[in-house]
Structure 1
Amino acid sequence: MTSTNTSPLLSFLLTHEEAFKSRARLASLYSDFRAQASTNPDGYVANVSAWRKALADAARAGLLPGGDLLVVKTGEELLRELEMAGWGRPGALGAVVNDAVAKGEMIPLAHFLQQRHSIYSRNRISPWSVLTWGLRQLGVLGAESSSEDRLVVGEFVVKANVEVPTSLLSDLSKSASTSGPALIHSRSTFAAALSHCFSMHTPLTDRDTDILLTHLSRDLHSCAYEPISGTIKFVAPNQSISAFADLDPVSENDVAIARLKSLILALEMEVPALEVRVAALDTAAREAVVEKNTAKARASLRSKKLAAATLEKRRETLHQLQDVYARIEAAADNVEIVRVMQASAGVLRDLNREIGGAEGAEEVVDKLRDEMERADEVTGVLTEGAVSGAVDEGEVDEEFEALEKEESEKEEKEEAEKTKARFEELEKLEKERKEKEEAQKEDHVPDTDREQEAQKESVVAS
């Protein structure tokens, strides 16, 4: 179904989207199906849902115009990328975008980034009310009666695409320790951490990062974000934040820690690159020596020396910064330990106050001992009347002797039965022996009844 002129976007849809693998569905998807909203509502919803999912998946794959993973950029370029031989351009894509915007499944980018209320807030003013008016002016709304579907040019945040990575991003705070430095990120360390949260062949753009940080801080209240310095501070795993509570703002110390971590990350990326360069220059110098190219060899060695010196300085700086960060983490842990100890001391103080100290505990123990003694006295009084009903030991002895006699008679009977069985077995063996002897005499066969004798002895022994 694909051709050599098929765009990467269209190839992706034809390969990965189930709705685009059938020619019958393609005919419906590329048709102007706006009239189905009244004549065939189920078919209309199915087509709109298929296009909406296709656009979201293609965006997440980085195949839409603009290259953003969380944004759909509509307009002429998108229509051109979707154009297919035999079907032309999709005839109702404007209605698809309008439906998604109306349902809040696509949100205008400017409104998403600028609005102060959460996208999940029920009482907020609709951020796309102005856009709706604009769509009406462009003839997109009410397009069922229009002869042409006009796709508005704009950029829209795909809500589903934002929610997928942010659900995984919660691992950033859950997997981190509860110390402050581990919960603080710069934009660069945040982007590096993203690669460990979900797998994408195309990296997030700066705009994608802005969208995610806005969603995390404003809508989910899982972090505090300071855009000017680019500092992010996540909520600790054991910290519960109300949906409407203000998070602790980013402090100057947080900004300093974020910059320190960003610098460490930059050096950690630079050191391996320098190591590769040093190795490459060393190889080049050796090859030049083999080729008898003295000038090239000496130039490679000079460059190697400079790169090696730079590498050594970067390593030393990295070690120093890592040591500083380790000390900051240790200090933050100490602060947390002291806070916990102070809180624990307060709890113990309150509990001791409730008890009344050692004197209060002794008083409680004395009272408990007195009440236990009273309880024993009451028990003694209640059990005095039961003494007259003591058991007659003579009756116990008689019943015991009767049980012994019964058991003895039972054993004698069992032994007699065993003896009788043994004698019957002996008689049987003796009879068989005699019959065998008679048979041997008649056939002149030597006596071979040792086995029967052994069996007889075994029975007697048992």
Structure 2
Amino acid sequence: MSLIDTVLANKLFTDRRRVSLYSNFRKLKDSNIDGYEANIAAWKILLTDALDQGNFEDATAIPGGPGLLEALYDPDNGRPLALDVVIDELVADKVLIPLPIYMAEKSSIYSQGAWLTKMLNPKVVTSWVLSYTKVWDSSWKSIGPKAELGTLKKEKYISIQALETIGNAIWANLENEHGITASYTNGVFTKEMLTSLLSEVSVTKKIHNTVQTSRVLLSPTDIEVVLKYLVRDKNKLISDGQIYKVNSRNASPLITQKDIAIANLRSTILQVTDRVNGLSDQIADCDLKARNALERKNKPVAVYALKSKKLAESSQVKALDMLSNLELLVGKIDDATDQAEIVSALSSGAEILTTLNSTIGGAEKVGDLMDQLRDQADETDEIGREISSMVGRSVDEDEVESELDLMLAEERQKQLDKLPVPPTNSTHATPAKDSQEDPAIASLSDELSATSLEPRKKVLAE
């Protein structure tokens, strides 16, 4: 589908709406801000859809210049006259980034003070330093060199959304399909090796509320932009421009000589692997030629083809031996790297334990401390016992006993007062016990009677 077909299929670009969308609507910003913003939004959706549908050469960038205007040509409305305003607004809104500005940024576009975060506050005036001119520009203008109406500067504009989608998909593919984080050597590449892995990627996108998965072919511009994204913006890779490696927890922040050697070794393995595969094709081709020659009774050609086959087989055996040795070497390097990390971890652990034990003072100091704690605990117990004994001696036991007797006497008197008074005509008779009397009260009454009459009997006896 061509770009103009995408325009005609877009519901926002109806025949009536295209009249306004293709016109010089920049003046609407002052007279009809709602109409102006509606046109900007419609063009944003169109350009995003066109990028997602592969209408442009690159998968991450929208091209500016005469080519874009020509591709958007409408027989009824001509070329869009305010497309430069659309691009300028999308740049100001952080939807697009001019390619040279993106590549020239020194720090991540997500870091504080970088291009992308400068526009988070609408009051901040956006400024970029153009690396190739060293001149500060307070705003980006996409209009053509002569500022002629309906012209565009020939420049590419990176779509942040497309870059994030494709960049993250590529990283997931490198992890899952190529195991670049599985070992040290798997995560070191020459630029040529990494570029070959980035030629295409499966990307899942949401287009018009529909989730679609498709294979996306990456252009040279896409590859350069994605590599910059993974190195600078996402900090997934470390690079010096020619060698790339995974930014793991133990990785050096710089490309070392060891990294260069590993990258070259892996590059050699790929070359030998390609040679082995090429020799396999050559062997099959020679075998087919020999058989065809025999069918035609052409013995000399058959003999030549068989000799070529034998030479190719011999070369393939040597290449396979070399490949086996190289892969064995890579495996040993990974083993040594793992062992070095283990030894480093053990060494760090030993240093930590030494520091902690030194701080503690050793087992003897701990033993002395425990003895001191036991002594102090015993001393605390002894102090408690002394305090308890002092409190006990301060109480007069006789006074306590006298007070207790007085309380018992008062209690007995209360119980006696509750007893019924005996009749006057039967002073010496023992009254019959009420069958309903509480047994406990009866028992207490007997006890009190015995207690109170005993002294009187003794007096009478005397």
Match among 200, 219, 237 for residue 233 of structure 2:
219
* Counterparts in 2 of 1:107 and 1:295: CA distance versus 1, 3 Å: farther
What's the CA shift string for 1:250-307, capped at 9, x where partnerless? 1222112112222323433443344244334423433443344545544543443344
Q: Which amino acid is the alignment partner of residue 44 of structure 1?
A: Y
Partner of 1:392: none
> Could you say if the C-alpha distance between residues 310 and 48 of structure 1 is closer, same or farther in structure 2, counting changes exceeding 3 Å?
farther
Counterparts of 2:36 and 2:58, CA distance in 1: 28
The letter for the 2-side match of 1:231 is: I
Determine the C-alpha separation between the residues in 2 that align with 1:303 and 1:40.
Answer: 79
1:186 pairs with one of 184, 187, 190: 190
Stretch of structure 1 that moved more, 329-338 or 28-37: 28-37
The structural deviation recorded for 1:236 is: 0.8
**Corresponding residue of 1:290:** 295
How far residue 70 of structure 1 moved from its aligned partner, in angstroms, is 2.5
CA distance, structure 1, for counterparts of residue 296 and residue 72 of structure 2:
55
Shift of 1:164: 2.2
What letter matches 2:191 in structure 1? R
Structure 1 or 2: more helix by fraction: 1
Q: Distance in 1 between matches of 2:199 and 2:236?
A: 19
- Contact persistence 2:23–2:82 (CA under 8 A): yes
Gaps of 5+ in 2: 116-126, 131-135, 204-213, 393-462
TM-score (norm 1): 0.64
2:91 to 101, 109, 131: 101
Alignment TM-score, normalising by the size of structure 2: 0.64
Match of 2:277 in 1: 272
Amino acid at match of 1:76: P
Q: CA deviation at 1:315?
A: 2.3
- State the distance in 2 between where 1:234 and 1:293 align: 57
Instruction: Name the counterpart of 1:415.
Output: none
What is the one-letter code of the residue matched to 1:190? L
SS at match of 2:153: coil
- Residue type of the partner of 1:68? D
Shift of 1:339: 1.0
Other-structure match for 2:39: 47
Aligned residue for 2:350, secondary structure, equals helix
- Superposition CA RMSD, Å: 4.0
Q: 1:88 to 1:136 in 2, by over 3 A?
A: closer
CA deviation map 1:389-415 (0-9, x unaligned): xxxxxxxxxxxxxxxxxxxxxxxxxxx
Q: Which amino acid aligns with 1:359?
A: E
Show CA shifts across 1:415-450 (max 9, x none): xxxxxxxxxxxxxxxxxxxxxxxxxxxxxxxxxxxx
Q: Who is 1:334 aligned against?
A: 339
2:38 & 2:360 partners in 1: Cα distance? Answer: 69
Alpha-carbon shift at residue 187 of structure 1 (Å):
1.6
Query: Matches of 2:25 and 2:247 in 1, distance apart?
Result: 47
Say whether 1:8 aligns with 2:13: no
Mapped partners of 1:178, 1:327: distance in 2: 15
Q: Report 1:61-76 matches (<5 A).
A: 62-64=54-56, 67-76=57-66
Q: Match of 1:157? A: 158
The number of equivalent residue pairs is 359
Q: Which amino acid aligns with 1:113?
A: M
Query: Is the 8 Å Cα contact of residues 71 and 155 (structure 1) preserved in structure 2?
Result: yes
Q: Is the 8 Å Cα contact of residues 144 and 151 (structure 2) preserved in structure 1? A: no
> Which residues of structure 1 form unaligned runs of 5+?
1-6, 141-145, 240-246, 386-462
The residue matched to 2:128 in structure 1 has which SS? coil
Greater Cα radius of gyration, structure 1 or 2:
2
Pick closer, same or farther for the CA change 1:123–1:115 going to 2, 3 Å.
closer
Identity %: 29
How far did 1:42 drift? 3.7
Aligned equivalents of 1:60, 1:100: Cα separation in 2: 17
Distance 2:150 2:332 in 1: 63
Return the letter of the residue paired with 1:166: G
Q: Which residue of 2 aligns with 1:308?
A: 313
Cα deviations across residues 86-115 of structure 1 (Å, max 9, x unaligned)?
Answer: 454334322222222334433332333234
Aligned-partner Cα distance in 1 for 2:249–2:16? 51
CA drift at 1:233: 2.5
Mapped to 2, the partners of 1:71 and 1:196 lie a distance apart of 16
TM-superposed CA distance for 1:161, in Å, is 2.5
Tell me the residue number matched to 1:232. 244
**Compared CA separation, residues 290 and 259, structure 1 to 2 (3 A):** same
Alignment check: 8 A CA contact 1:173 1:235 kept: no
Q: Which amino acid aligns with 2:217?
A: P
Deviation at 1:126, TM superposition (A): 1.3
**Cα distance, 1:136–1:177 mapped onto 2, change above 3 Å:** closer
Structure with the larger strand share: 2
2:128 paired residue among 126, 129, 147: 126
Query: Does the 8 A contact of 1:179 with 1:336 survive in 2?
Result: no
The superposition leaves residues 340-397 of structure 1 with CA deviations (integer Å, 9 ceiling, x where unpaired) of: 1110001110121122211123234445555777888979x99xx9xxxxxxxxxxxx
- For residues 369 and 230 of structure 2, the distance between their equivalents in structure 1, rounded to whole angstroms, comes to 54
Q: 1:349 to 1:217 in 2, by over 3 A?
A: same
SS in 1 for 2:217: coil
Between 31-40 and 157-166, the greater mean CA deviation after superposition: 31-40
SS in 1 for 2:229: helix
Quick check: 267-276 or 155-164, which moved more?
A: 267-276
| 1:89 paired residue among 44, 56, 79 | 79
Q: Which residue number corresponds to residue 430 of structure 1?
A: none
